[in-house]
């Protein structure tokens, strides 16, 4: 059974972190690339946003899917939400690669390009705002 309170709490936390990203001046990429503090803060906020979305995805997939179906990885959870008509298919395809960014951040791969973090943060503001809206619409209908 879906735990609506869990999903709503995670969405609220994602929205708060999106607000934090919006407060960081991401209009100037050069400034971002020169500011280690800003980079560190943005990396951590991105990691939290993505992980919370993955928590929601996993919860829904476990509760709403056929138990014999396997999820191949975090990225696949977004595609499964499209299969369940929670996310539009094209949107799921676009947002799913953020799971790979989460893995690079969590496991501190040495080859993380700061420019990728910058562009991911700018993209995350829009994508994860839409993600939250899709999930809230889904909860309202169920």
For the domain that residue 92 is a member of, what is the CATH number?
Answer: 1.20.120.580
What is the tally of structural domains in the chain?
Answer: 1
In this prediction, residues 42-55 reach a mean pLDDT of: 94
pLDDT higher than 80, residue 124 = yes
pLDDT tens figures, 82-118: 999 999 999 999 999 998 776 566 556 556 678 888 9
In this prediction, residues 57-80 reach a mean pLDDT of: 84
Q: Which residues of 106-121 are buried (b: 16+ CB within 10 A; e: fewer)?
A: eeeeeeeebeebbebb
Give the pLDDT of residue 105. 63
Q: What are 60's two structure tokens?
A: 């829904």
Give the pLDDT of residue 100. 78
pLDDT cut 70: percent of the chain above it: 89
How far is C-alpha 86 from the chain's CA centre?
15
The domain of 124 spans: 4-141
| pTM attached to this predicted model | 0.90
């Amino acid at each position: 059974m879906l735990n609506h309170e869990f999903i709503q709490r995670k969405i609220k936390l994602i929205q708060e972190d999106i607000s934090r990203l919006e407060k960081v001046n991401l209009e100037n990429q050069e400034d971002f690339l020169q500011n280690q503090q800003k980079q560190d803060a943005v990396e951590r906020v991105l990691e939290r946003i993505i992980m919370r979305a993955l928590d929601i995805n996993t919860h829904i997939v476990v509760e709403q899917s056929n138990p014999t179906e396997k999820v191949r990885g975090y990225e696949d959870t977004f595609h499964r939400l499209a299969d369940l008509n929670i996310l539009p298919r094209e949107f799921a395809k676009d947002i799913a690669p953020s799971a790979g960014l989460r893995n690079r951040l969590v496991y501190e791969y040495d080859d993380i390009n700061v420019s990728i973090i910058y562009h991911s943060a700018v993209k995350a503001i829009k994508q994860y705002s839409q993600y939250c809206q899709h999930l809230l619409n889904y909860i309202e209908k169920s």
